[in-house]
């Protein structure tokens, strides 16, 4: 690394300055212009820089088109049939494209109830288990081989395709409760399988960033480990855990495939999670989509709309997006509000 | 009386119970995953241990008599699944890296925060909505484009025409899946890119590198393993995606790479959802068998992603 010093002394020599008495005379004469980038080279680099900049902005712009289109069409087409009647009725007494006695065209009350109950069931199963599993991994297991194995399996679990989770719940209930069982709780089991790894991972991340000083201070005061964990560690990590859990819920609330085969599909409201089929919003969207067109007999009234299934599908999709959005916002707000005050 | 004075509440019992419960929850993860494998295997067992004549009859009824053997049934499905997911990844990969770089290094800070939020939100949009959008908005409007592709690039077997109309084809499905996994890859890649040490970036810039050269020298090498594992996760998502495929693709059971023609391929997940409602007990076993194949594929992809990330973190 002596080239910089050579350069420093060499530059005046190279330029042929008049200092004959200096020992630097013997230093090799370096033509530094040789190392100067040519103008075309600089221009090429600049061009490339500009080219990549344009490419990156272009990638962003192109990607925006479909994503904006998804949101926009859902909003625009969803609002057409979204009213109180749609939210407060189920699909009983809906015949073809004819309006129901209440003046609407059927609704999603049963699907909203089903979605909320099934997701709640999944929450009740997966959040306590997930949080405690993370507590075990961080607070108790250390670097044991069991912890490594659990880490690996949590990763594997997060990659389970949702339809396989559905098949699992279906097979489990077929073996334990008799073949062909369909109920809401079965759907909860399938969803909790999908939620569990997310909860474990986010909780783990949150527990990792709890400062060790807090644990040591608490233990040094003679507090037992259990109390240290529940009152100090988990309390400190609470905002992160809550927002992670909410984001996990937002992920599974839109799952369709596992619920198609576990919770089934009915047109009437079923509020019992443990018996009978249940409809959820995503399944409702899919079912309406696959109906394609409603029947309007020749003597039907003017109110008969053949394209009503698609319009219902869009409105239900809009409600679903709104629920997901609200959950996301709540998750973020909770994280901010509950965050421990910084000095 | 005196004993209670001298021995304070130790909380030892609660300590033990809590530890036990936490331990049990850790073990439960192992049990659950084992249960997934066991229950699926038990349900799929009639495929191997059952009456083979019945099995081939069931498979023949699924395929219209074209195949009678489980492996010749799952083969085209496997091919279709991998084809669609790989295409989706190829489309999404470069675009999402572009977006991630845009958010982390090009966009003004305020815009970047807003965009980050939007990307995270888009990652949470349910797949059924992408399916709905793909089926009702994209399919009717993208035909002219695919037709143009088939006419100009038709000499490549991949794009050989005529383009199907309506284009319920692998190409359209791959596009929708790419749009779906775009936010997932983007949000992970962005997190990695933002963590690039400022020192490295400034060193590169200080040596006179242009912005792109700085990204090439400092940001991309730093984020490589993270980007790879993000795209593996995206691939896993695309492999297991059911609804978007089910709602858009016109299924077929061939080893075909004609992306623009209808009724060529089908994916495992969509096939399960499509055949499931009409399947009898043995049919369900066959479908669960294909589900196990899908499970193995996604398992391997995730394992590979994990290997790549852990290798990179050891190196540091």
Query: For residue range B285-314, what is the model confidence (pLDDT) as tens digits?
Result: 888 888 888 988 888 888 888 777 777 665
pLDDT on residue A325:
87
CATH topology of domain B76-315: MetI-like fold (1.10.3720)
Q: Which residue of chain A has the CA closest to B175?
A: A66
Query: For residue range A245-296, what is the model confidence (pLDDT) as tens digits?
Result: 888 888 888 888 888 888 888 888 888 888 888 888 999 999 888 887 887 7
Q: From the CA of A17, how many Å to the nearest CA of chain B? A: 28
| Domain spans of chain B, in order of start | 1-44, 76-315
pLDDT on residue B296:
87
What average pLDDT does the structure give for chain A?
83
DSSP secondary structure of A45-69: HHHHHHHHHHHHHHHHHHHHHHHHH
| Whether residue A8 has pLDDT greater than 80 | no
Q: Is the CB of B133 less than 8 angstroms away from the CB of A167?
A: no
pLDDT on residue A7:
45
A290 CB neighbours in chain B (<8 A) are 247
User: Rounded CA gap, A46 and A53, in Å?
Assistant: 10
| Domain spans of chain A, in order of start | 39-78, 84-338
Q: What is the percent of chain A where pLDDT is above 90? A: 16
Packing angle between helix A162-176 and helix B281-315, nearest 10 degrees? 130
Q: How confident is the model at residue A22 (pLDDT cuts 50, 70, 90)?
A: low
User: Rounded CA gap, A6 and B37, in Å?
Assistant: 69
Q: Of B33, B106, B82, which is closest to residue B236 (Cα–Cα)?
A: B82
Q: From the CA of A19, how many Å to the nearest CA of chain B? A: 32
User: Rounded CA gap, A302 and A300, in Å?
Assistant: 7
pLDDT on residue A319:
92
Number of neighbouring beta carbons within 10 Å of residue B306: 17
**Burial class of residue B263 in the structure, from the number of CB atoms within 10 Å of its CB (0-12 exposed, 13-18 middle, 19+ buried):** middle
Q: Of A104, A106, A80, which is closest to residue A269 (Cα–Cα)?
A: A106
Query: For residue range B69-93, what is the model confidence (pLDDT) as tens digits?
Result: 888 888 888 999 999 999 999 999 9
Q: From the CA of B154, how many Å to the nearest CA of chain A? A: 24
User: Rounded CA gap, B32 and A165, in Å?
Assistant: 11
A63 CB neighbours in chain B (<8 A) are 95-96, 98-99, 179, 182
Query: For residue range A155-197, what is the model confidence (pLDDT) as tens digits?
Result: 888 888 889 899 889 888 888 888 778 888 999 999 999 999 9
Q: How confident is the model at residue A131 (pLDDT cuts 50, 70, 90)?
A: very high
Q: Please indicate if any CB of chain B lies within 8 Å of the CB of A330.
A: no
Average pLDDT on A88-111 reads 82
Q: How confident is the model at residue A126 (pLDDT cuts 50, 70, 90)?
A: very high
pLDDT on residue B5:
54
Q: Please indicate if any CB of chain B lies within 8 Å of the CB of A317.
A: yes
Query: For residue range A23-66, what is the model confidence (pLDDT) as tens digits?
Result: 556 777 777 777 777 788 888 888 988 998 899 888 888 888 88
Q: Which CATH class is domain A84-338?
A: mainly alpha
ipTM: 0.85
Q: Please indicate if any CB of chain B lies within 8 Å of the CB of A200.
A: yes
pLDDT on residue A6:
44
Distances (CA, A) of A278 to A123, A271, B238: 17, 8, 27
Phi, psi (5° rounding) for residue B163?
A: -70, 135
- Show which of residues 275-314 on chain A sit within 8 Å of chain B, judged by CB atoms: 282, 285-286, 289-290, 310, 313-314
pLDDT on residue B6:
57
pLDDT on residue A299:
73
For chain B, which residues score pLDDT lower than 50? 1-2, 315-316
Q: How confident is the model at residue A87 (pLDDT cuts 50, 70, 90)?
A: confident
Q: From the CA of A18, how many Å to the nearest CA of chain B? A: 32
B302 CB neighbours in chain A (<8 A) are 155-156, 158-159
B12 CB neighbours in chain A (<8 A) are 224
């Amino acid at each position: 690394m002596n080239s910089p010093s050579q350069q420093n002394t060499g530059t005046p020599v190279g330029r042929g300055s008049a200092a004959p008495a200096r020992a630097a005379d013997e230093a090799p004469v370096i033509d530094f212009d040789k190392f100067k980038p040519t103008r075309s080279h600089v221009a090429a680099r600049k061009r490339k820089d500009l080219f990549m900049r344009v490419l990156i902005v272009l990638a962003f712009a192109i990607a925006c088109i479909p994503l904006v289109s998804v949101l926009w069409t859902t909003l625009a087409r969803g609002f057409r049939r979204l009213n109180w009647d749609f939210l407060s009725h189920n699909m009983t007494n809906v015949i073809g494209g004819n309006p129901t006695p209440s003046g609407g065209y059927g609704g999603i009350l049963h699907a909203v109830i089903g979605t909320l109950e099934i997701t709640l069931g999944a929450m009740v199963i997966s959040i306590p288990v997930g949080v405690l599993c993370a507590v075990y991994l961080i607070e108790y297991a250390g670097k044991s081989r069991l912890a490594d194995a659990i880490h690996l399996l949590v990763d594997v679990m997060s990659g389970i395709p949702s339809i396989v989770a559905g098949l699992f719940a279906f097979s489990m209930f077929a073996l334990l409760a008799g073949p062909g069982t369909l109920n809401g709780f079965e759907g909860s089991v399938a969803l909790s399988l999908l939620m569990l790894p997310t909860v474990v991972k986010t909780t783990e991340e949150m527990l990792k960033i709890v400062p060790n000083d807090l644990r040591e201070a608490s233990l040094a005061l003679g507090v037992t480990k259990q109390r240290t964990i529940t009152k100090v560690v988990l309390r400190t990590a609470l905002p992160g855990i809550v927002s992670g859990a909410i984001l996990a819920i937002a992920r599974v609330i839109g799952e369709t495939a596992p619920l198609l085969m576990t919770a089934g599909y009915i047109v009437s409201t079923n509020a019992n999670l443990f018996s009978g089929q249940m409809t959820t919003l995503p399944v409702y969207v899919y079912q309406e989509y696959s109906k394609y067109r409603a029947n309007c007999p020749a003597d039907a009234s003017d109110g008969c709309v053949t394209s009503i299934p698609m319009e219902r599908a869009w409105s239900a999709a809009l409600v679903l997006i709104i629920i997901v959005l609200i959950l996301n916002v709540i998750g973020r707000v909770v994280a901010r509000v509950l965050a421990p005050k910084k000095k | 009386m005196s004993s209670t004075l001298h021995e304070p509440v130790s909380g030892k019992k609660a300590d033990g119970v809590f530890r036990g419960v936490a331990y049990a929850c850790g073990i439960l993860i192992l049990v659950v995953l084992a249960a997934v494998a066991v229950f699926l295997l038990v349900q799929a067992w009639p495929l191997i241990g059952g009456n083979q004549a019945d099995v081939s009859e069931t498979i023949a009824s699924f395929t219209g008599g074209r195949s009678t053997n489980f492996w010749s049934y799952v083969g085209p499905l496997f091919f279709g699944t991998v084809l669609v997911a790989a295409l989706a990844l190829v489309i999404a990969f470069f675009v999402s890296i572009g977006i991630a770089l845009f958010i982390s290094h090009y966009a003004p800070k305020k815009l970047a925060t807003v965009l980050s939020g939007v990307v995270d939100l888009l990652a949470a949009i349910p797949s059924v909505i992408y399916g709905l959008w793909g089926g009702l908005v994209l399919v009717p409007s993208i035909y002219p484009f695919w037709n143009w592709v088939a006419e100009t690039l038709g000499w490549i077997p991949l794009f050989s025409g005529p383009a199907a109309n309506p284009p319920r084809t692998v190409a359209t499905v791959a596009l929708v899946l790419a749009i779906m996994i775009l936010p997932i890859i983007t949000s992970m890649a962005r997190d990695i890119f933002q963590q690039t040490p400022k020192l490295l970036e400034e060193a590169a810039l200080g040596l006179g590198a242009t912005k792109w050269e700085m990204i090439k020298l400092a940001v991309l090498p730093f984020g490589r393993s993270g980007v790879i594992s993000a795209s593996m996760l995206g691939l896993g998502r695309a492999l297991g995606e059911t609804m978007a495929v089910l709602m858009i693709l016109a299924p077929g059971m061939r080893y075909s790479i004609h992306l623009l023609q209808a009724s060529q391929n089908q994916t495992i997940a969509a096939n399960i959802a499509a055949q499931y409602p009409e399947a009898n007990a043995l049919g369900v076993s066959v479908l669960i068998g294909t589900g196990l194949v899908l499970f193995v594929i996604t398992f391997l992809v995730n394992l590979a992603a994990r290997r790549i990330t852990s290798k990179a973190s050891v190196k540091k």
